[in-house]
Amino acid sequence: MKIIAHRANISGPDCKRENRIFAIEECINLKLDVEIDLRFNQGQFYLGHDKIQEKIDIEWLNKYQDYLWIHCKDFESLNKLRGTNLNYFWHNVDMFTLTSKQFIWTFPNNVVDINSVIVCQNFDETTKYSNTKAYAVCSDWKKI
């Protein structure tokens, strides 16, 4: 079972770590995949869930492409990543969405299979879904 660090959180929700370069790279150094939130504004890429946080570039994304699950937060970021080898997706409140690498990004508390990444909102959900046939669990908790 693959664990994907939700916004680079590994010990529960932590707004000081979320979508921060240092935290993402820390997770990658631990060999964890990371779900990040990406925005594109005035010709630049930025990390950030609800707002622009840290500026990054396409080279940084490409450097870590084997570990990143990129949640495009706006049309511009989605359009800019089209045609790249990056693993990206866009969704809002959809029960399921397909990533560019053909994984089924799955809303919490839903059906899963071997191609699913299930988003877990708390420790109990993380524990529950870690014992399923899902490809991965996206969670704020590394240890289950």
DSSP code string of 87-121: -EE--SS-SEEE-TTS-EEE-SS----TTEEEE-S
Query: Over the chain, what is the mean pLDDT?
Result: 96
Enter the pTM of the model: 0.95
Give the confidence band of 138 by pLDDT, cuts at 50, 70, 90: very high
Other Cβ atoms less than 10 A from the Cβ of 79: the count is 12
Instruction: Name the helix (H) or strand (E) containing 58.
Output: helix 58-63
- The mean pLDDT of 120-127, rounded to a whole number, is 94
- The mean pLDDT of 72-80, rounded to a whole number, is 97
Give residue 143's pLDDT: 67
Q: Is the pLDDT of residue 22 over 70?
A: yes
Radius of gyration, CA atoms only, the chain: 14
Rounded to whole angstroms, the Cα distance separating 5 from 19 reads 10
- The mean pLDDT of 10-21, rounded to a whole number, is 96
Give the confidence band of 93 by pLDDT, cuts at 50, 70, 90: confident
Which single residue is written with the structure tokens 């959900």? Answer: 125
